[in-house]
Amino acid sequence: MASYTTEQIAEMVKRALSELSSQPGSTNTQNDMSIPIGVSNRHIHLTQEHVDILFGTGYTLTPLKDLSQPGQFACKETLTLIGPSMRPIEGVRVLGPLRKQSQVEISVTDSFVLKVKPPVRESGKLSGSAPITIVGPKGIVQLSEGCIIANRHIHMSPEDAVRFGVKDGDYINVDVVGTKHTLWYDVQIRVSDKFRLEMHVDTDDANAAGIGNGSRVTVAK
């Protein structure tokens, strides 16, 4: 039986992956028209003012890991959410960078626990959204508005938008082949040269369709 060095094995694996990526239907080709999924758990975006209240004056959030979208990152810091039910949801991750307005994104399931009624919205569209209380180690922030359920949306670069034949603000339907094959309607397109191709859904949507991070979907015809 032939024996191989670690370097030889690594080279064989690299060559096999290269051959696979060149085959028709590969997700790595420029002709691939599928879109990777990113599942977004409940999370919080904060202003510096609210960081100071929740963690102490002059506090700086601590990056934990980069997220798929350039410049976005998860922080080590977590907080507690409280709604009218007074049943807290603890350990909610803070995401960076800082925002001009604090925002809380939850799922429908979370809204049942908290007894809040957040609208389904595009991120940043907070006028008239639900109130929520955020509890930190040093203080409490009561948002009169700012709690939403994020709409299903696809981040893409201008080059991707041309490839898919869409523009910023368009709405499309998406075919989802998971454990439970389904169709998602009215998925918003968001185009920026700062974006990387990825569709964002919350945990409720992902679980209902039987998909996860790295699953791929296609534009419905």
Q: What is the distance between the alpha carbons of residues 83 and 94, in angstroms, rounded to a whole number?
A: 18
Give the model's pLDDT for residue 8: 56
pLDDT at 41: 97
Strand pairing of 182-191 and 120-121? unpaired
- What is this structure's pTM? 0.83
**Tokens 């799922």 belong to which residue?**
107
pLDDT at 21: 40
Q: What per-residue confidence (pLDDT) applies to 34?
A: 95
Q: What was the pLDDT predicted at 9?
A: 62
Convert 36-69 to b/e letters by CB count within 10 Å (16 or more is b).
Answer: bbbbbebbbbbeeebbebbbeeebebeeeeebee
Is residue 205 a contact partner of residue 160, using CB atoms and an 8 Å limit?
A: no
Spell out the per-residue pLDDT of the chain, length 221, in tens.
Answer: 456 666 656 555 555 544 444 343 333 444 689 999 999 999 999 999 999 999 999 999 999 999 999 999 999 999 999 999 999 999 999 999 999 999 999 999 999 999 999 999 999 999 999 999 999 999 999 999 999 999 999 999 999 999 999 999 999 999 999 899 999 999 999 999 999 999 999 999 999 999 999 999 999 97
CA 177 to chain centre: 19
Report the alpha-carbon distance of residue 129 to residue 47 in Å, rounded.
Answer: 17
Return the SS3 of 32.
coil
In a 3-state reduction of DSSP, which class is residue 118?
coil
Residue count of the chain: 221
Q: Is 104 exposed, middle or buried (0-12, 13-18, 19+ CB in 10 A)?
A: buried
Q: What is the pLDDT of residue 15?
A: 55
What pLDDT does 138 receive? 98
Look at residue 128 in the predicted model and tell me its pLDDT.
Answer: 97
Spatial separation of the C-alpha atoms in residues 16 and 10, rounded to whole Å: 10
CA distance 194 to 175: 25
